[in-house]
A = this chain, B = another copy of it.
Amino acid sequence: MSSRDIKIPEPSLKRLPDYVHFLRSLRCGGARIVSTTDIGRALRLDPTQVRKDLAWAGAEGRPRVGYQVDELVAILEQFLGWRNASAAFLAGTGHLGSALLGYAGLREHGLDLVAAFDSDQDKVGEEIHGVKVLEVDRLTGLARRMRVHIGVLTVPAEAAQEVAEKMVEGGIVSIWNFAPVSLQLPEEIFVQSGELYAQLAVLLRRTEEAVSRNTSTTPSGA
């Protein structure tokens, strides 16, 4: 079995950042040992699930003792790539793009935006939160030369496909897509949707349901 066949399932992977955030707050409070029951209670997860998730990242607790908090944080941070942030290019320096460039949380979570690209000549040459804005036509060549493998796409919908293709041509293999369109790219390219609009759709719908429930029924008492 090659390592490709045993990759961590996506739901497990997605929970790992929450574990780190929780473990860090535990550590701040002085805790040195933690059990899957503690973690499960705090994050509302089944302890068995917690144990499996941690095992995927390479962490094994000691039966009836638990995990060393420090060690567990280190293992998870290493696994998640937070200790060596990966270089990435961002294309599209509008509101959302600029915000991401200024968002320190990204680097702490493994993503280092090393250059930004825009087609607007007024923006080219500027610095946004310390990151240089370059002409979008240079993206392909620079990605190739600097061996950048990750692209963040914050261009308007109508430009998204073209810019994504420039990324792929430059050797970028993963794209975080915040443009509200589906990209048509070779199958081996991984596209993570930023999902803002999908999340918003759920949020608005559930709000409407809750509000109409509250106004249409009388409280059923304590």
Contacts and interface: CB of A to CB of B under 8 A. Distances in A.
Given A18-B182, A86-B204, A207-B150, A199 B174 contact: no
Interface string A178-222: 001110000010101011111111111111111101100000000
Contacts of A203: 111, 150, 174, 176, 190, 192
B149 A200 contact: no
A interface SS class: helix
A102 to B, nearest CB: 4
A21 interface: yes
Interface residues of A, number: 66
Contacts of A206: 174, 190, 192
16 contacts: A4-B209, A4-B213, A15-B198, A18-B180, A18-B198, A21-B157, A21-B180, A22-B182, A43-B182, A86-B204, A95-B103, A99-B103, A105-B180, A111-B203, A111-B204, A150-B203
